[in-house]
């Protein structure tokens, strides 16, 4: 009887460890983003510098331990310094993207995941005039919303920290 109790106790302890090593069905990422460029969108163009603050969120649905379907959305907001047509000013800039595609993963030790993704989707830019921007056909063209095809190829390393929270290194 003692051996049976010992065997069942060991069996229950081993089962507990196996439950913790499963692959999560869903993974969520959120983060802050800062975009700064001194040269501007167009080299030699009317924009001097761009400073944008933003956010990023991604949701991955794991199909198995090495393949997931991923959706990624982001938004960036701020100002672009404008020095065109003889009058300096600023343009409010809004950038949004929505990308979708596969993500491949290599799961190393407990909680360490190396991943790579190839995402496609759309990118939308828009602007609004703020201080001292001259009105002209070229500035109104810049301010009108535009939507473009977008691609995002990349990867990174996820490290498990505590419980269900981790750290993403890109």
Where residue 163 falls (left for φ over 0; alpha for ψ -120 to 50; beta otherwise) is: left
Is residue 100 domain-resident?
A: yes
Is residue 90 domain-resident?
A: yes
Is residue 150 domain-resident?
A: yes
C-beta contacts of 7-13 below 8 A and 24+ residues apart: none
Instruction: Give the pTM.
Output: 0.71
Residue 27 bridge partners (DSSP): 60
- Phi/psi at 64 (5° precision): -160, -165
What's the pLDDT score for residue 136?
47
Instruction: Check pLDDT > 70 for residue 148.
Output: yes
Is residue 16 domain-resident?
A: no
**Tokens in use for 110?**
């407990």
Q: Which domain holds residue 146?
A: 24-169
Contacts of 54 (CB under 8 A, 6+ apart): 32, 33, 34, 35, 74, 75, 76, 77, 95
Is residue 85 domain-resident?
A: yes
Question: If you average pLDDT over residues 89-107, what whole number do you get?
Answer: 91
Q: Which of 21-30, 76-85, 92-101, 151-160 bottoms out in mean pLDDT, i.e. has the lowest?
A: 76-85
Q: Please state the domain count of the chain.
A: 1
What's the pLDDT score for residue 1?
63
Is residue 7 domain-resident?
A: no
Is residue 2 domain-resident?
A: no
Q: Which of 17-31, 63-77, 131-145 bottoms out in mean pLDDT, i.e. has the lowest?
A: 131-145
Q: Which of 31-40, 41-50, 66-75, 145-154 bottoms out in mean pLDDT, i.e. has the lowest?
A: 41-50
Read off the CATH number of the domain in which 165 is found. 2.40.160
Is residue 137 domain-resident?
A: yes
What's the pLDDT score for residue 49?
75
């Amino acid at each position: 009887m003692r051996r049976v109790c010992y065997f069942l106790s060991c069996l229950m302890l081993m089962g507990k460890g196996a439950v913790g090593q499963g692959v999560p069905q869903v993974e969520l990422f959120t983060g802050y983003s800062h975009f700064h460029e001194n040269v501007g969108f167009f080299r030699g163009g009317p924009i001097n510098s761009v400073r944008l603050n933003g956010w990023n969120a991604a949701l991955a649905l794991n199909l198995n331990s090495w393949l997931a379907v991923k959706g990624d959305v982001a938004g960036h907001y701020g100002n672009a310094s404008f020095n065109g047509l003889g009058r300096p000013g600023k343009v409010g800039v809004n950038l949004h993207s929505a990308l979708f595609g596969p993500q491949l993963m290599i799961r190393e030790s407990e909680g360490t995941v190396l991943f790579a993704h190839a995402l496609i989707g759309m990118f939308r830019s828009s602007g609004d005039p703020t201080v001292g921007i001259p009105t002209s056909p070229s500035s109104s063209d810049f301010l009108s919303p535009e939507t473009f095809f977008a691609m995002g190829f990349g990867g990174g390393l996820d490290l498990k920290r505590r419980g269900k929270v981790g750290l993403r290194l890109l």
